[in-house]
Structure 1
Amino acid sequence: MKKSIAGSTLLIPAMAFAQPADIGIAPVALHSEPYVFDTAEQHGIKVTVLAKDFDRPFAIEFMPDGDLLIVERGKGLRILRQATKPGAQLDPQPVADFPVPTDDWTFSVGVQDVALHPDFARNHLIYFTYNEPAPKPASDTSIYRYARLTLMRAKLEDGRISNVESLLTGGPSAALGSRLAFGKDGKLFVTTGGAFGEIAQELDNIYGKVLRLNDDGSIPSDNPFVGREGANPAIYSYGHRDQHGLIVDAATGAVLNAEHGPNGGDEVNLIRPGANYGWPRYSYGRQYDGTHLAEMPLAPGIEKPLLVWLPSIAPTGLMIYDGDRFPKWKGNLFVGSGRRGEIPGTGGLERVVFSPDFGELRRETLLTDLHQRVRDFAQGPDGLIYVVTDGPENAVLRIEPSQ
């Protein structure tokens, strides 16, 4: 089903085609005893629940002292104290003075992602993306509400933030998720959603793009669209749909994103400056009623994805493991999954083995026995892997070798 809005095409979301009530797999009730699983190459991992019952967790970020920041989407920040040590404790109070929207709908407003400045230990600066509710055009009859995506910076000290400032703000949009990652050169990459209409192909706005900024919010002089009339100079790449994963590889500096297709066609892309990734004109996905979305998934001038999922896995976070605790996983890409094939209760982690030039060699699916929606994950300072799940118990999990 499509509707025309201001001359563009709006894709009706999944909930417009309601699933039968009996589709889905019941989630596991997470218990305090560790889970032990075999894996294809590491052979033996232990998964422990560290904390649960957060409010819509969306992202995690480690602080230098081993405390773990947890984004509660639309609400604020929580801190899991000493997450890497025995007896980790969730701070009962959220981070004080964090901005919270007054609107009571939390799916896509408020805080989305958080990142620490590379020199956080000295300057205590954090960056976060924030969707501020905005008026919806009368012509838009979809179920989505509108927001302005804002990149914000603040100081985080002693459990509270201060000196909050806005570095970049977009216009009103039916914005979805966003992610942040610092590059090796200190530049900040920001992903933005552009699921509806042609907005992802239009260069005069920030939506459906990967943006690149200096740490003070100014525009790097070598961005690909600097000086181009009618183009926003913050744009680094365009033609993206809904991006819930972003990473800059510490070893190579390569930038990768993970983005949702509509119904299938989920992608991981190697992000190149100035490149067009095709949405909405080119996609491997289908409409939510099963009909074809695009006549062709690729065309001259459209970047080919590194990875594609048919059916969908609802991709979330990204990580390239570079620690020593899982030697067989070193250099592997991890991709979070909310659910597979539109079936609730089927999320987990995807592990992908690449050749040095990003040629795919093998894939493995992890944590599916827990039937959780994985929202984000991170490599801890101890070299272990920490995962946050979204629903129904909203837990932080630690993955470590079982022996």
Structure 2
Amino acid sequence: MKKYLIYPYFFVVLLTQSCAQSTDNTIKKPVTDSFSEVLVADGIQNPWGMAFPSKNSILVTEKSGKLFLFTNGKKTEIKNTPQIYNRGQGGFLDIELHPNYEENGWIYFSYSSSDDKRDGGNTAIMRAQLKNKQLVNKEILYKGVPNTTKGQHWGSRLEFDDKGFLYFSIGDRGNRDVNPQDITRDGGKIYRIHDDGGIPKDNPFVNKKNTKKAIYSYGHRNPQGLVKNPFTGEIWNHEHGPRGGDEINIVKKGKNYGWPVITYGINYVGTKITDETSRPGMEQPLYQWTPSIAPSGMTFVNSDKYPDWKGNLLVGSLAFQYLERLELKDNKVIYREKLMDGLGRVRNVRQAPDGYIYVAVEGKGIYKLVSKDE
């Protein structure tokens, strides 16, 4: 069992137009606690999504296209999975259980799909049930169009709200100048559907001609974090910026989150994308990271297992290879801290029904955070 301390992460929070901006300046804060990282599922290269069908089991999607069930650490490969268009950042992506999974057995997946065509792929949403170590009753609920051979910005996370609506994200698919701001097109959006794929009658654009009726918000770049705030019921997301400008947002009905018209980031080569960081009618992020941490996966902590962390947000960093803890007050980030620093690219983090935090690390597997006093 490997031990680690929760190291203090120093920062200054600047407030600009209600947006907390990260910097490299420092404010010291004492170490809060110490935990052990326990490897509970290994032998998986890129664990993209996690779901917990029981206290002793974890379903894990492998980006390359496989689905594994770990039961008390024993790995079983699940058969009859979706056909994956494995290109670039795409692959077998997120997984989510229906809120009434114990009664109906529905499991939801997001993945890169060519739809049996040869002109590239786009993000698809499927539901299925698990029986005799294979998926059965597979139903495609949504498929982004058009297909493209570009390999970037598929999204894609899944989350249910308290009313049973399913939210999912599709990135801008590398077409930033068209997709995010156009509600007649897929890409750069967060969507809301019924659990069977139907379109809610109160979605914001259902009565507008030629629009994508499942769209709930738009102007996003590449959302790879989507979580329900257990204290308010709101859906929160985070998304990759370009070079700088990774964002945390609260997802609101019909709102425009600005990409690429407004952003705190710049092009990877150092040139400007826009001179604007705000514009009337476009939402400001709750928080933004500059430099980018490349966020992936996100969970709120409300478990008694971590009493000092209640109300905190945990976010994985791909770029800097750590788990970030963010303390919040009045929807502002007031403190950040590095956890699991240097262990590897953190692809996902979730609080499971057993109350523990599980962290998916590329090339390593799934870790559970356990107090050193247990």
Say whether the fold is shared (TM-score over 0.5).
yes
The residue correspondences of 1:42-191 to structure 2 (distance < 5 A) are 42-82=32-72, 88-91=73-76, 94-101=77-84, 105-133=86-114, 135-136=118-119, 146-171=120-145, 172-173=147-148, 174=150, 176-191=154-169
Distance 1:177 1:394 in 2: 22
- SS in structure 2 opposite 1:200? coil
| Map of 1:278 onto structure 2 | 258
Q: Which of residues 189, 200, 220 in structure 2 aligns to 1:240?
A: 220
| Map of 1:325 onto structure 2 | 305
| Map of 1:373 onto structure 2 | 345
Q: Which of residues 360, 365, 375 in structure 1 aligns to 2:333?
A: 360
Distance 1:236 1:382 in 2: 31
- SS in structure 2 opposite 1:228? coil
| Map of 1:401 onto structure 2 | 371
Distance 1:284 1:186 in 2: 34
Summarize the Cα distance change of 1:369–1:148 in structure 2 as closer, same or farther, 3 Å threshold.
closer
Is 1:387 paired with 2:374? Answer: no
Q: Which of residues 209, 229, 235 in structure 2 aligns to 1:249?
A: 229
- Whether the aligned pair in 2 keeps the contact of 1:256 and 1:269 (CA below 8 Å) is yes
Q: How far does residue 97 in structure 1 lie from its aligned partner after superposition?
A: 1.1
Summarize the Cα distance change of 1:107–1:95 in structure 2 as closer, same or farther, 3 Å threshold.
farther
Which residue identity does 2:63 align to in structure 1?
A: R
Identity of aligned residues (%): 35
- Whether the aligned pair in 1 keeps the contact of 2:6 and 2:33 (CA below 8 Å) is yes
- SS in structure 1 opposite 2:191? strand
| Map of 1:19 onto structure 2 | none
- SS in structure 2 opposite 1:232? coil
Q: How far does residue 255 in structure 1 lie from its aligned partner after superposition?
A: 0.9
Distance 2:88 2:271 in 1: 27
Summarize the Cα distance change of 1:129–1:317 in structure 2 as closer, same or farther, 3 Å threshold.
same
Deviates more, 1:57-66 or 1:241-250: 57-66
Deviates more, 1:72-81 or 1:34-43: 34-43
Distance 1:71 1:177 in 2: 15
Is 1:301 paired with 2:284? Answer: no
- Whether the aligned pair in 2 keeps the contact of 1:73 and 1:106 (CA below 8 Å) is no
Q: How far does residue 38 in structure 1 lie from its aligned partner after superposition?
A: 3.6
Distance 2:140 2:301 in 1: 32
Which residue identity does 1:259 align to in structure 2?
A: E
Distance 1:245 1:38 in 2: 23
After superposition, give the CA deviation of every residue in 1:335-355 in whole Å (9 maximum; x if it has no partner).
11101xxxxxx3111111112
Q: How far does residue 34 in structure 1 lie from its aligned partner after superposition?
A: 1.8
- Whether the aligned pair in 2 keeps the contact of 1:42 and 1:326 (CA below 8 Å) is no
- Whether the aligned pair in 2 keeps the contact of 1:108 and 1:131 (CA below 8 Å) is no
- SS in structure 2 opposite 1:121? helix
| Map of 2:322 onto structure 1 | 348
The runs of 5 or more residues in structure 2 that have no matched partner are: 8-29
Distance 1:73 1:162 in 2: 20
Q: How far does residue 375 in structure 1 lie from its aligned partner after superposition?
A: 0.3
Q: How far does residue 109 in structure 1 lie from its aligned partner after superposition?
A: 4.1
Deviates more, 1:197-206 or 1:173-182: 173-182
Which residue identity does 1:360 align to in structure 2?
A: V
- How high is the TM-score relative to the length of structure 1? 0.81
Q: How far does residue 77 in structure 1 lie from its aligned partner after superposition?
A: 0.8
- SS in structure 1 opposite 2:282? coil
The runs of 5 or more residues in structure 1 that have no matched partner are: 1-32, 83-87, 137-145, 340-345
Distance 1:100 1:169 in 2: 13
Distance 1:216 1:206 in 2: 20
- SS in structure 1 opposite 2:308? helix
- SS in structure 2 opposite 1:328? helix
Task: Say how many residue pairs are matched.
Answer: 343
- SS in structure 2 opposite 1:279? coil
- Whether the aligned pair in 2 keeps the contact of 1:74 and 1:112 (CA below 8 Å) is no
Distance 1:151 1:204 in 2: 19
